[in-house]
């Protein structure tokens, strides 16, 4: 009896354990698969949102007539954005009446009325943001799709139509079929909050097109659970299943996974039948039990390792995002402070000019001291903006023999007293063409890295010379290359991570001590200039970074007149400036240039003067203005109403300069000298007026 009872007892114990393990494993497979399909759906939706944002920038603020007249260009732009995007069926732009303006698929696209579409009505009635439609069967290709749409506005801020990105449910279906192929018994579904099914794999012939409102999933959804793992009877095929679902981003879109318990039981019974056939002897039963236990242990270990890797990857991504957000916040703060500081510098600079004109021989030494302080503060503001990446790149001819030694004053405070800094420039070093603020930022980043690598002090050297032919590596053409060599005596960098140091967000420092963006900025500057950055390091002996940049043609220095006499412009100027101190300093400057000045502190007042017929020779306006419209919008209004009117904009926000120039307006940075103001006004008056 024992020879029968013992194997039978072992068989029953193993059977029960295997069923419980299989049940737990099925729940884990359902949960793991849900994470995979949720991440996939989130990435597809995020990519579609990014594509939608690009199209929004393309069409927003343009009149319907302009959009309809540019159908060919719009089609090409839309088609280019759908290349290598297999999930995208098409991008369609509708006007405010629901009629098609352009499509990524056809050119020309037949004018079709889509005003009866659900997504169009939603935006027409004032819905803001992106809207995800219910499952839709397309009119032409008869494909099942879901639409991600958003409204856009014309040049007067009115509702102008809808941008619709159409996603193929077949794309999701293909992905789910590949996923399920590696996990038999698994089912995947994509559905809407109301239960409408976009797609399901495997397909159920003749199955419902929506989940039952009384089914387990929708019952939990109505209870406010945006994600859940449960057991219940599927409303699609009526099977008892392990079920899990989760919401995708902020849309009424959900992914779900399920595992049939009947299939699981059949699988376990089949295994037990095989085990019974093989377990005639207790030894065979014990051996098989040990094998199964070992396999389960390995599966659990592999699952744990995968989960740990996933947690580590997510943690690194969250850290990188946090560092990027901190840097962006710092940039915004610095940009705002620099704007106000630029206004203050402009007041000081203009009044200093007026003092020199009114009393040229009085307190000359003190006036010159103030002028040097203003220049120094202007350079400091520019360095702050470069550090916050809000200073547009301004290429200039830089003689390193003049500029590099002065960088010592910028770098030394960041190093501290324990680090000895040496800066040397070979007398034969060729000039370079680059943005000086960007070079200063690169050297400051390298100095900070060197400081962190030398907590107990050390030496840092910055040496510049012409690169040898071997160092240049054939780059730079006839003029050759210039080498800037930065070397410290710090702890060095391990060889196994040295190749990754130029990657954005990679850092060997502890969390919170570095962004991982310093060396990537250095690398990016060198690549942009047509050069390269190289790094070598030895643990315990220090690190060496070499910037190899193209040389520029030397040129003679022009002797500058201290304060040139400016000819009279003899023009009428309408000045729009809300800062009273800036205005008070600008008016006499303009009058000294021969201008008749009318000053207002709001764009609304200036608009009223223009509409009354008081047309000046030139309108001079600040960009950041209180009221309904700022300086840029005011300039666009003038261009539309009075195309012949000449305009000049001013701003203390450096990041706005390139954007304003791209709009076709002349722009003057703050602070500016009277000579810069004179040159800008004269240039605008000589240019042909804009065409309306």
Q: Helix or strand or coil: residue 556? A: coil
Give the torsion sign (CA, 417, 418, 424, 430): negative
Backbone dihedral region for residue 480 (phi beyond 0: left; psi -120 to 50: alpha; all else: beta): left
Give the torsion sign (CA, 519, 524, 527, 528): negative
pLDDT tens digits for range 229-270: 888 777 676 777 888 999 998 899 999 998 877 766 666 666
- In the chain, what percentage of residues exceed pLDDT 90? 30
What's the CATH fold of domain 1-280? Beta-Lactamase (3.30.450)
- Sequence-separated (6 or more) residues with CB below 8 Å from residue 94: 100, 101, 114, 120, 161, 162, 164
What's the CATH fold of domain 571-686? Rossmann fold (3.40.50)
The per-residue DSSP string of 308-328 comes to HHHHHHHHHHHHHHHHHHHHH
pLDDT at 560: 42
**Secondary structure, 3-state, 244-263:** EEEECCCCCEEEEEEEEHHH
- Sequence-separated (6 or more) residues with CB below 8 Å from residue 97: 113, 115
Report in angstroms the alpha-carbon separations of 109 from 100, 114, 149, 179: 8, 13, 19, 37
pLDDT at 466: 93
pLDDT tens digits for range 355-406: 777 677 666 777 777 777 776 676 666 655 655 555 555 578 899 998 888 8
Helices (DSSP H) in 616-666: which residue ranges? 631-641, 656-662
pLDDT at 575: 93
Mean pLDDT value across the chain:
81
Q: What is the pTM of this model?
A: 0.41
**Secondary structure, 3-state, 67-104:** HHHCHHHHHHHHHHHCCCCCCEEEEEEEECCCEEEEEC
Best CA proximity match to 131, nearest among 114, 150, 103, 115: 150
Residue 521: which pLDDT band, with cuts at 50, 70 and 90?
confident
pLDDT tens digits for range 267-313: 666 666 666 556 555 656 656 676 787 788 888 888 888 888 888 77
- CA distance linking residue 144 with residue 140, whole number of Å: 11
pLDDT tens digits for range 121-169: 999 999 989 999 999 988 777 889 999 999 999 888 899 999 999 999 9
pLDDT tens digits for range 626-647: 888 889 999 999 999 999 999 9
Give CA angle at 510 (507, 513), nearest 5°. Answer: 80
- CA distance linking residue 562 with residue 574, whole number of Å: 29
Contact 568, 594 (CB under 8 A): yes
Report in angstroms the alpha-carbon separations of 399 from 6, 134, 403, 561: 93, 64, 6, 21
Residue 424 has pLDDT above 70, yes or no: yes
Q: Which helix (H) or strand (E) holds 348?
A: helix 282-358
User: Other C-beta atoms within 10 Å of 46: how many?
Assistant: 12
Look up residue 691 and give its two tokens.
């065409």
Give the torsion sign (CA, 674, 677, 681, 684): positive
CA 198 to chain centre: 31
- Sequence-separated (6 or more) residues with CB below 8 Å from residue 328: none
CATH 3.40.1640.10 fits 392-550, yes or no: no
- CA distance linking residue 275 with residue 288, whole number of Å: 8
Pick from 41-55, 74-88, 451-465, 553-567: least confident = 553-567
Task: Domain ranges for the chain, please list them.
Answer: 1-280, 392-550, 571-686
Which residues, listed in sequence order, are joined to residue 145 by a DSSP beta bridge? 136, 168
Contact 666, 684 (CB under 8 A): yes
Backbone dihedral region for residue 492 (phi beyond 0: left; psi -120 to 50: alpha; all else: beta): left
Give the alpha-carbon dihedral of 24, 28, 33, 38, to 10 degrees: 130
Q: Which helix (H) or strand (E) holds 335?
A: helix 282-358
């Amino acid at each position: 009896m024992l020879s029968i009872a013992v194997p039978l007892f072992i068989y029953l114990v193993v059977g029960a354990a295997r069923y419980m393990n299989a049940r737990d494993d099925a729940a884990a497979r359902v949960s793991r698969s849900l994470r995979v399909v949720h991440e996939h759906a989130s990435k597809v939706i995020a990519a579609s949102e990014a594509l939608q944002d690009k199209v929004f920038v393309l069409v927003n603020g343009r009149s319907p007539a302009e959009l309809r007249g540019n159908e060919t260009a719009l089609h090409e732009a839309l088609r280019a954005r759908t290349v290598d995007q297999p999930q995208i069926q098409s991008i369609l732009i509708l006007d405010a009446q629901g009629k098609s303006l352009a499509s990524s698929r056809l050119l020309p696209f037949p004018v079709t009325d889509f005003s009866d579409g659900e997504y169009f009505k939603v935006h027409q009635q004032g819905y803001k943001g992106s809207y995800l439609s219910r499952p839709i069967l397309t009119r032409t290709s008869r494909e099942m799709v879901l639409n991600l749409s958003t409204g856009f506005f014309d040049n007067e801020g009115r509702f102008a139509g809808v941008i619709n990105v159409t996603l193929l449910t077949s794309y999701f279906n293909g992905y789910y079929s590949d996923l399920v192929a590696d996990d038999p018994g698994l089912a995947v579904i994509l559905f809407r909050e109301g239960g409408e099914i976009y797609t399901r794999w495997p397909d159920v012939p003749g199955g419902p097109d929506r989940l039952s409102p009384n089914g387990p999933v929708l019952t939990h959804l109505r209870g406010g659970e945006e994600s859940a793992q449960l057991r219940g009877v599927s409303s699609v095929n009526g099977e008892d299943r392990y079920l899990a679902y989760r919401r995708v981003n902020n849309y009424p879109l959900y992914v779900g996974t399920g595992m049939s318990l009947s299939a699981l039981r059949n699988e376990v019974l089949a295994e037990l039948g095989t085990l019974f056939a093989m377990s005639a002897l207790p030894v065979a039963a014990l051996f098989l039990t040990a094998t199964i236990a070992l396999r389960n242990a390995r599966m659990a270990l592999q699952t744990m390792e995968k989960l740990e890797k996933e947690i580590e990857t997510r943690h690194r991504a969250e850290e990188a995002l946090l560092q990027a957000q901190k840097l962006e916040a710092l940039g915004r703060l610095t940009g705002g402070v620099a704007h106000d500081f630029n206004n203050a510098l402009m007041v000081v600079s203009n009044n200093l000019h007026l003092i020199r004109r009114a009393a040229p021989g009085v307190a000359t030494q003190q006036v010159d001291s103030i002028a040097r302080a203003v220049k120094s503060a202007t350079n400091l503001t520019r360095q702050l903006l470069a550090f916050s990446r809000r200073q547009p790149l301004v290429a200039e001819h830089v003689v390193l023999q003049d500029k590099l030694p002065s960088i010592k004053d910028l770098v030394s405070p960041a190093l501290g007293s324990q680090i000895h800094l040496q800066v040397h420039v070979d007398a034969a070093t060729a000039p370079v063409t680059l943005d000086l603020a960007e070079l200063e930022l690169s050297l400051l980043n390298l100095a900070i890295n060197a400081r962190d690598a030398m907590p107990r002090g050390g030496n840092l050297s910055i040496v510049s010379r012409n690169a040898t032919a071997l160092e240049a590596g054939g780059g730079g053409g006839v003029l050759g290359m210039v080498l800037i060599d930065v070397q410290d005596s710090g702890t060095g960098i391990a060889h196994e991570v040295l190749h990754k140091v130029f990657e954005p967000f990679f850092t060997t420092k502890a969390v919170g001590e570095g962004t991982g963006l310093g060396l990537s900025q250095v690398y990016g500057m060198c690549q942009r200039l047509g050069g390269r950055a190289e790094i070598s390091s030895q643990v315990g002996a220090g690190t060496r970074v070499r910037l190899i940049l193209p040389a520029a043609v030397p040129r003679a220095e022009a002797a500058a007149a201290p304060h040139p006499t400016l000819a009279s412009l003899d023009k009428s100027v309408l000045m729009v400036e809300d800062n009273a101190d800036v205005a008070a300093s600008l008016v006499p400057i303009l009058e000294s240039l021969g201008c008749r000045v009318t000053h207002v502190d709001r764009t609304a007042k200036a608009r009223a003067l223009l509409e009354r017929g008081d047309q000046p020779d030139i309108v001079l306006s600040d960009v950041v203005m209180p009221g309904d419209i700022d300086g840029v919008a005011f300039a666009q209004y003038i261009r539309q109403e009075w195309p012949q009117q000449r305009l000049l904009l001013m701003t203390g926000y450096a990041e706005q300069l390139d954007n304003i120039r791209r709009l076709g307006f002349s722009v003057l940075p703050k602070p500016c000298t009277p000579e810069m103001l004179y040159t800008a006004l004269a240039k605008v008056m000589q240019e042909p007026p804009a065409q309306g």
